[in-house]
Structure 1
Amino acid sequence: MKFIRASGIVARPLPLRFLQMLPGLLGILGGCAVGPDFSKPATSAQAGYRPAPVTLPPAGPTDPQQHLNLGGELVGQWWTLFKSHELDDTLTLAVANSPTLDTARSTLAQAQQAILVARSGYFPQADLAAGAQRERVSVSAFDSGEYATGAIFAVGPTVSYGPDLFGRVRRQVEENTALTDVQRYALAAAWLTLTGNAVNEAITSASAREQTRAVQDIIAVDRRNAELVEFERSAGKAARTDVLTAQSQLAADVALLPPLQQQLSAAHDALAILVGKTPAEWAAPRFDFDMIVLPVDVPVTLPSALVRTRPDVLAAESQLHAASAAIGVASADLYPGITLSASWTQQAPRMGPLFDSANGLWSVAAGLTAPLFHGGALKAQRQGAVDAFDAQLGVYRQTVLAAFGQVADSLKALQHDAEALAAQRAALDSAQASLALSQESYRVGAASLLDVLLSQRLYAQARLGYAKAKGQRYLDTAQLFEATGGGWQASMANDAGPAR
């Protein structure tokens, strides 16, 4: 075999046997990953929403009674349970045009690229180096003043590889994968918040419109009452204080109208923003309770499955996983690291013979770096990662507790809503019967017009209370669907990926 000696470096072709052994050698160098292996936190077997099962009572003779379907599966587009085409169309626009979802999707894509960056550590890094230099060297061992000037051209690839001896790269990939899951569940949470807000604003709009009609009826009765009292005063049958009382009542009831109108206007503007439009570009549909059906069969996620359906809980779990992997990264820094490198260089004093085989030089090198003394920084770094994991574990536990509490509150709210609605319905029926009796008494001359107007006012006030209770029942039903996860896994299969 021919040897070429240049500048004290021996260059010869790489032995074929060494190339055949290289993959196996790299596999041996890749040892096990240090640090803890993550396991999902266990849910307590006693975890539940309420000490006893919640049952929903009847909501009166005219309103449907809801039934809880514990363990029932919530459909992906959960708002379709309200059976409103206008609501479906609004939610379709919101999901398609939301800037919030676009931001979350881009953030998720960025996190996915971070995984690819981390995975690059599994592979050798190859580069191409080229250079040219001109130098002046002495041609005599003595200071005779004899020098030679020449140029050197060099080009060739270099390859370096750091075997993942203690799993640092694997833990980095694991950490970035977990952080990507955090962003995936953040996207799901943004979708759930968006759809929940849109449904809530639609229901708020319907409730405000129903309450506005009731207040307008009250104001109409107050005006008739004020006119009648003024007429009786002019006839000498009523005192000045009666007139002032009637006018004061009218002013107080008129003051109820602007807040409801503002609530309705704000709900319309909020819906426009949720669908990605300005209020001038898009007008919200006219939502009324006669076009929104209250779901009667209410699916409720089992307590044992809640931690797998709530995106905020899943995001906290993924953040905990990332903190666990960070312990492995910090642990690997306590151990030695090996770097392998190889290069092949074509070097010649002129460009012409640069690529001749006789001008090829190669080198193979291996380096070992082992931490000896860093002033305690590496151990402190690992302990800091352990402390960060413990802190994130507390965040996860608090997130789970908050999720259970939110579902428990929603279940109890539905129970109280049914009771309140039944009471308001009874009050409305009584006020309606009283009004009918007053009108009949007035017709036969047994009651005055003021008595009729008072009955009308009590009836309108009962209508207002009934509208509030009805709207709250719709809102709490939607909030229960949102609290149990909103079925985002089915609706966001393409965006957020399958649920783990």
Structure 2
Amino acid sequence: MLATAMPLLLSACMVGPNFERPAAPATKHYDAQAENALDGSNKSTGAPRVDLGKKAQGDWWSSLGSAKLDEVMRKAIVGNLDLEAADATIAQANEAVASVAGGLSPQVGFGAQGGRQRAGNGAGASNFYAVGPQVSFDFDLFGGTKRKIEERTALAELEQHRFDAAYLTVTGDVASQAILLASAREQIKAVQVLIADDQKNLDLVRKAHEYGTATQVDIALATTQLAQDETLLPPLAQQRDVARHALSILVGKSPGDWTAPDFDLGDFTLPENLPVSLPSELARERPDILEAEAQLHAASAEIGVATADLYPHLTLSASLTQAGPGIGTLWGFAAGLTGPLFDGGTRQANRRASEDGYKASLAGYRQTVIKSLGQVADVLQAIRHDSEEYAAQERALNAAEASLRLNQQGYRVGEIGVLQVLDAERGYQRALIGQIHASTARHLDTVQLSIALGGNANGAFEQRVAFREKP
């Protein structure tokens, strides 16, 4: 009994390093300049206030306040085929864990054989058979199997985080494409008004030419302006259609089977306050960082697997066989100890390779963290500068509107001609297009900030299941 119990006690030993989670970034800032500029003190640009150290709650896209977007998001989360593939990959990884974990249990099998044999003394041939169960158990003295389970578990967690990253990408793409669709529609409306003004201008110039107050050069200039502005429509129509098609694909449908709703920029609201979690919290929330951490954990466990291969394996086996004819019941019990003596350095090389793999994974993890902090810093600066551009475009639009109003008043009292009024109308429409561009950039910045911060994607798999269960 003591001899049997000792290996059981030894089986608790696990060689190799125990994984320790990397420390979170010590820095408390992404970009101090941008954070100071977005502290809410400068009201002139209308930039949102960044609440550093505050975590967003709920679905990240809810801050955009669009019921249309909420509905499309739900369709995408349920129907997106990339998420469907990631779902199946998670299940596959979990089964891999269960497969390796089976190695810690006794392996019970069944064997049977039969045949005809002849003794060497010249006696006649006879039939024989043997049938019965067989049991074996590897005590995993140095924890090689346990480390393999740890590795596969870490890889299963990695797939879970990949799902979260895919979820974040899908939801971010849905919001971005919806905004681009809305922007294209707004710009098309402005350009159509601009083209209508050009046509009016051309008609007036032609009429003036009939009365001798305009030249062929004036007609050529007006025609050229109309033609140039007409070239603006096809690219905008293409942007609109591409965005619609992209939304169809994101919800798992072909463009011929489902059409996105007609989004308008007025459907979205820009939040006045933007919660921004600290860098230390980002490292515990962003899916790609957690994915790199799981990869690092798997690399650490791989060192344990390679280390355990350097040591012996103890296996117990037993069998119970009913043999015949005329032989009866046979039983057997055996213990086997196997271990390496000389393999040309293969196992040592495998262990060193696993250590090198861990170092590579650690560098990859650190690089992922640094890139993530840089992405947040980039978006914060974009929010700052795009707010400044929007404010400048607003001033330009207000100036163009005031100019148009003055020209219209001057025309009514006969101080200026109609061509000046039309030119002022064209200036206003061009300023409006610029303002739409700037507004679109601000909306996209809000989306990109949420994505860069991780978008509360942890637990996305459970949320997808909940969406599926809703009527």
Bin of the TM-score, shorter chain as denominator length: over 0.9
Is the contact between residue 431 and residue 458 of structure 1 (CA under 8 Å) also seen in structure 2?
A: yes
Correspondence 1:451 to 2:427: no
Partner of 2:134: 158
Cα 1:22/1:261, change in 2 over 3 Å: farther
Partner of 2:375: 406
Partner of 1:123: 105
1:37-436 equivalences under 5 Å are 37-46=18-27, 48-52=29-33, 53-56=35-38, 65-139=47-121, 146-349=122-325, 359-436=328-405
Partner of 2:407: 438
Is the contact between residue 59 and residue 418 of structure 1 (CA under 8 Å) also seen in structure 2?
A: no
Describe the superposition over 1:62-119 as per-residue Cα deviations: whole angstroms up to 9, x where unpaired.
x965221222222332112111111111111111111111100100000000111111
Describe the superposition over 1:386-437 as per-residue Cα deviations: whole angstroms up to 9, x where unpaired.
1111111121111111111111111111111211111100000000000000
Partner of 1:15: none
Cα 1:237/1:60, change in 2 over 3 Å: farther
Is the contact between residue 46 and residue 391 of structure 2 (CA under 8 Å) also seen in structure 1?
A: no
Which one-letter code corresponds to 1:97 in the other structure? G
Cα 1:348/1:34, change in 2 over 3 Å: same
Correspondence 1:33 to 2:2: no
* Runs of 4+, deviation exceeding 4 Å: 57-61, 494-497
- Between the aligned partners of 2:73 and 2:209, the Cα distance in structure 1 is 56
Cα 1:465/1:152, change in 2 over 3 Å: same
Aligned residue for 2:37, secondary structure, equals coil
Is the contact between residue 225 and residue 246 of structure 1 (CA under 8 Å) also seen in structure 2?
A: yes
- Between the aligned partners of 2:459 and 2:302, the Cα distance in structure 1 is 32
Deviation at residue 297 of structure 1 after TM alignment: 2.0
When structure 1 is superposed on structure 2, of 306-315 and 29-38 the one drifting more is 29-38
Aligned residue for 2:18, secondary structure, equals coil
Partner of 1:12: none
Q: CA RMSD, aligned part only?
A: 2.0
Unaligned stretches of 5+ residues in structure 1: 1-17, 140-145
When structure 1 is superposed on structure 2, of 248-257 and 35-44 the one drifting more is 35-44
Is the contact between residue 46 and residue 387 of structure 2 (CA under 8 Å) also seen in structure 1?
A: no
- Between the aligned partners of 1:389 and 1:458, the Cα distance in structure 2 is 61
Describe the superposition over 1:323-382 as per-residue Cα deviations: whole angstroms up to 9, x where unpaired.
1111111111111112211111111216xxx8xxxx221111112212111111111111
Which one-letter code corresponds to 1:72 in the other structure? K
Percent identical pairs in the alignment equals 44
Partner of 1:4: none
Partner of 2:458: 489
Q: Which one of 464, 467, 485 corresponds to residue 433 of structure 2?
A: 464
Unaligned stretches of 5+ residues in structure 2: 467-471
Aligned residue for 1:280, secondary structure, equals coil
Aligned residue for 2:124, secondary structure, equals strand
- Between the aligned partners of 1:58 and 1:471, the Cα distance in structure 2 is 24
- Between the aligned partners of 2:32 and 2:59, the Cα distance in structure 1 is 31
Which one-letter code corresponds to 2:101 in the other structure? R
TM-score, scaled relative to structure 1: 0.89
Is the contact between residue 58 and residue 418 of structure 1 (CA under 8 Å) also seen in structure 2?
A: no
Deviation at residue 309 of structure 1 after TM alignment: 1.1
Which one-letter code corresponds to 1:296 in the other structure? E
- Between the aligned partners of 2:171 and 2:42, the Cα distance in structure 1 is 27
TM-score, scaled relative to structure 2: 0.94
When structure 1 is superposed on structure 2, of 50-59 and 241-250 the one drifting more is 50-59
- Between the aligned partners of 2:217 and 2:41, the Cα distance in structure 1 is 45
- Between the aligned partners of 1:138 and 1:436, the Cα distance in structure 2 is 120
- Between the aligned partners of 2:4 and 2:390, the Cα distance in structure 1 is 74
Cα 1:432/1:170, change in 2 over 3 Å: same
Which one-letter code corresponds to 1:443 in the other structure? R
Correspondence 1:24 to 2:9: no
Number of residue pairs aligned between Structure 1 and Structure 2: 464
- Between the aligned partners of 2:432 and 2:178, the Cα distance in structure 1 is 20
